[in-house]
Amino acid sequence: MQLSGTDRNRRFLAAGAAVAVVAVMALVLIAGFRLATRIRASVSALQTTSVLQTYPAVISQQLAALRGQLDTLEYSGRVHGELAATVADFNKDFATIERRHDLDPAAIHRAQTLWRSYQPALAPVLAFSGEPYDDTDTGSSLSSSGRVYYDQVRRAAIFAAENATVLHRQLAILSASLQARTSAAAARLRTLLFVGVLTVLALAMAALYLQLARGRHERAAREAQEQTRDILKTVREGFFLLDADYRIGSVWSEALTRLFGRSDFAGLDFEELLRNKVSPETLATAVKYIKLLWGERARESLMKSINPLGQLEVSMDNGRGGRESRYLQFDFHRVMGPKGVKHVLCAVGDITSNVLLARELQEAQENAHSQLDMMVGMLHADPLQVSTFLDSASAGLKHVNTILKEPARTDAEFRKKLAGLSRELHSIKGEASALNLMSIAQRVHHLEDMVGELKGKSELTGNDFLPVVLKLDELLAHLRGVREMTARLVTLKDGSPEPGATMSVPQLRVVPTEQPGAPSATERPARAAGDLATMLQQLAAKLAQDHGKRITLTLSGLAEVPDAYLATVKDCVIQMLRNAAVHGIEPSEARRATAKPEVGEVRVDFHRSEKGYELLFQDDGAGLSPEALKRAAVRKNILTGEEAAALDNRAALALIFRPGFSTREEVSMDAGRGVGMDVIARAVYALGGKIGVSTNPGRFTRFKIALPEARQAPAVA
């Protein structure tokens, strides 16, 4: 938490007051200790001077006692020893006083002078060590040395008696001076302690005040922190700070736990936060963008405009053993400090509902546009042709429903169902695209996407097919709506019916022979061939426009297609025409580079043969490369590398009829699922026919379908 200037000053004052209290107490204690030490020494010296004042009188008394013992011829050794001890003590104590520097040097000097005047008188007395008496039969008397000793004692006693008072007075002056100094030191100590106590009290009061003020502000700060925590607990967005090492700080909003399903964010690297949730490419782009935010010259407004994480799709654990997609929006704001960028504030929001709603709106708009396009297309389409498609589509979807209802238990049985679904749906989508009924084609395409996702699963169960069933119900409902719309459009074309009358689409397909103007039995095949030719020409034009190519379609012999083969021929030509537009015919620029006409040519010819009928389909496009087909088979895991290398060119060309084979990596409305040629081959084989392919890479691709006589064809449902 960043402190304001006032809070920082208040903390500095509180810390300063505490330091001042400690400093004052230390100074008072040090000064008081020194003064107390001096006072203690002064008291000791004062005691010494007090003792010294007694020595002059004691020395005088001891000299007088020694003289008296000599006068009476008594033993004087004890008194002589006491005198020597007294003089020695005086010298020792006086030496102690002389070493002090806080006494008046003049007073000490005078005391020294007076004491030194004692030395001539005391020295001979103290130096005597002989026997002062002579013992005879008649009694004791002073010896010659005793008489000298006696004279010395007498003179010393007289001198001590005369000077004892003077020396005592001088020592008393020293004692008084020392006492005065000691009293002054004691007064200073009391003053120091008093001032120190007052200062400490004042500083303590100031510190207490500042502490109370700090406590109030800390309570306010705690309340602010608690409010911040409440905000971080409540907000729906995830907030966190990134440091210069791109790591998350120690404070973040609790929404991050919900968004990312973890709680260990402190110190977490930003790259680690998104790892395994986005693709490696997206992760690398995000890390580069984060690093750019720390550039001093980077403009924040510009950085926001290029934010690659504005709508990020992440894969999250749904808590049920699976994963789900979410959409997160990252917003970044740089936090500037005195030395530049200090942190980067990151806000993360879950915009999944917004993205899904936008998609629903877009799908609704696309559906509305497709409905409008379908209505416009139906206005130009032959109602009988549309009705025929609706009948075949309904029959195909019923077959799809039958496949879905078939019981299955093993994974192989489920995958067999998926293969059947793919073939039926691909045929329906192809014819819907040929009739420009894009709303139906797109819905079938979505169903194909769902089937493709199921094929990619490692293990299948019956529950995996439930979304397909729901989507199939939607498609059937849409077909019913298209059928009703077709009936109304036909009604508008044919004239206004009686009020309340309705006409169903199936009725439009039934044209009685006795109805005036109805086509005869010989005219109906020609009309069917014309409808097929028109549909194929429209499909060729649409495919050329969708894929940015120029295509000319030449048709011949369609009037000879038997009714029994009409549906199969139509499906085959539609699928091969789509393949030619996607894989075969090159863009105009590429054709010019190889000296080809800019407009690609596709030829379809149906004619009788010796054994029945023959359908030829040829385009002058890029052709088929056996090596490219082998590589595609390896990529799709249809063949191993060794198996592909062992194939000859004829076997390599046959790969296009394998289920799931496609040379395209991405899936589109017209190619990429590897179903179309498989469907054609199965339909031809079901009629007892054969299909072959020949090619010249860079020049052409030709398909030849041989069908038996119509009467020889086995009945198909």
Cα separation, 313 vs 323, whole angstroms = 12
Delimiting residues of CATH 1.20.120.1730 domain(s) in the chain:
5-211
Cα separation, 649 vs 647, whole angstroms = 7
User: Out of 1.20.120.1730, 3.40.1160.10, 3.40.50.2000, 1.10.30.50, which CATH number does the structure's domain 5-211 have?
Assistant: 1.20.120.1730
| Residue 657 φ/ψ, nearest 5 degrees | -95, 0
Cα 45 to chain centroid, rounded:
80
C-alpha R_g of the chain: 61
Helices (H), 406-518: 411-434, 438-455, 466-494, 505-509
CATH numeric code, 359-496: 1.20.120.160
**CATH architecture entry for 529-712:** 2-Layer Sandwich (3.30)
Cα 595 to chain centroid, rounded:
56
The DSSP code sequence of 670-689 is: SSSSS-HHHHHHHHHHHTT-
The DSSP code sequence of 12-53 is: HHHHHHHHHHHHHHHHHHHHHHHHHHHHHHHHHHHHHHHHHT
* Sign (positive or negative) of CA dihedral 183, 186, 191, 194: negative
Q: 10-residue block means of pLDDT along the chain (717 residues)?
A: 55 70 77 74 77 86 86 85 88 82 79 87 86 78 85 88 86 81 80 82 79 78 77 79 85 80 81 80 82 72 74 72 77 80 84 82 71 60 65 71 74 71 69 68 72 71 72 73 71 54 37 42 56 82 85 89 86 85 86 87 90 90 84 82 83 80 64 68 87 87 89 46
Cα separation, 337 vs 323, whole angstroms = 41
- CATH superfamily, domain at 238-350: PAS domain (3.30.450.20)
Cβ burial, residue 207 (10 Å; 0-12/13-18/19+): buried
Q: Which helix (H) or strand (E) holds 135?
A: strand 133-136
Contact 315, 323 (CB under 8 A): yes
C-alpha closest to that of 111 among 98, 100, 124, 96: 98
Instruction: Reduce the DSSP state of residue 506 to 3 states and report it.
Output: helix
Cα separation, 8 vs 495, whole angstroms = 91
Q: Give the pLDDT confidence score for residue 387 in this predicted structure.
A: 65
C-alpha closest to that of 214 among 416, 10, 33: 10
Delimiting residues of CATH 1.20.120.160 domain(s) in the chain:
359-496
Cα separation, 429 vs 665, whole angstroms = 20
Delimiting residues of CATH 3.30.565.10 domain(s) in the chain:
529-712
At 67, which amino acid appears? Answer: R
Q: Give the pLDDT confidence score for residue 378 in this predicted structure.
A: 59
Going across the sheet that includes 690-696, the strands are 551-556, 600-609, 612-619, 700-708, 690-696
Delimiting residues of CATH 3.30.450.20 domain(s) in the chain:
238-350
